[in-house]
Chains A and B, each alone.
Chain A
Amino acid sequence: MNNEPKGNWFVRRIKKYQVITFTFGFLFFSQIPSLLIHYYADKDLFLEKYHLSIWVLLAGIALIYFIQWLIVTWAALRFPKETLKQKFLRHPIATIILFIIGLTDLPYRLSSTSGAIVSIFETIVYHAFLYFLWWLLVCWISSKIFKKERFQWVWYRKIIEKVFVIMPIAYKLVLCLIVALILFITVFILFTVVFKYSGQDLKFLFS
């Protein structure tokens, strides 16, 4: 039985990794409004600052997101769920240490964001992926040094199994919540502009 999606490699990869594609598509499209606002607010300052036309900058951002998508889907292709789970179980010390370091480093990374919900989400995702790559490197070095699995903790195995069940659901839920909130605000603003809403009813209600 062949469950592989049909089409060329690009379409196949999109179909196979829909959540990853959706994440990068959402992050890319959420960049465009702020870029356009920045551009139309002061065109001369914008061109002076970036030394590029708006089209070149847009194409550049699209290219960066495409390359990021390629890297992440490559990693997903290279490390399927079961392989990754076995790797986590084989390297408990590396996992625990890198998890603690990543968690303590996260507030510093978040302090450099603009405070917008999409920006916070993007920073967390990039931070997690960066630490995932570091973890892979540590695991690779560790597997070269220690040929046998040294630690087998029942509590650790239980946590990893639970994380592998909860994480995909939690990630999808958080992503959908953010997308729904952004869409909610966007549609609300669109309706507000169309119906020339002044907010008087709310003023009366909460006065």
Chain B
Amino acid sequence: MRAIGLAVGYLMWIGAGIVTFVFWFAAMSKWLGLLGKILAIIFSPGVVIFPVVFWIVEGVFPSFYFIVWGVGIVGIIIAGISSNSE
């Protein structure tokens, strides 16, 4: 059961990472076009900077980004509990 918990937790974490990356990539390509796409691959969104910039530019708080981020944290908690269990 430990291996299953670990796999599920890490898959949730990786999945959340991919979805947040897609969000970041879509925002950057919308704002800067091809240059944004290249920059999105090179740079990471950051914990505070990107959501604040998104909030200022679009005028909407990026709730989706934080919800998916929260899902990733739940995944890490599941993996953590599984790695500690017998």
Closest-CB distance, A192 to chain B (whole angstroms): 6
Give me 17 other A-B pairs in contact (C-beta within 8 A), A187-B70, A188-B67, A198-B63 excluded: A18-B1, A22-B1, A172-B7, A176-B8, A183-B12, A183-B74, A183-B75, A183-B78, A195-B63, A195-B66, A197-B67, A199-B64, A201-B54, A201-B60, A204-B59, A205-B23, A205-B26
Interface contact B61-A201, CB-CB below 8 Å? yes
Is A177 engaged at the interface, CB distance under 8 Å to the other chain? Answer: yes
Interface contact B15-A191, CB-CB below 8 Å? no
Interface contact B68-A188, CB-CB below 8 Å? yes
Interface contact B70-A191, CB-CB below 8 Å? yes
Interface size class of A (residues with CB under 8 A): 20 to 34
Contact with A along B61-86 (1 / 0, CB 8 A): 11111111011001100100000000
Interface size class of B (residues with CB under 8 A): 20 to 34
Chain B: CB-nearest residue to A21: B1
Is B35 engaged at the interface, CB distance under 8 Å to the other chain? Answer: no
Which residues on B sit within 8 Å (CB–CB) of A137? none
Interface contact B8-A201, CB-CB below 8 Å? no
Partner of B64, one of A18, A19, A201: A201
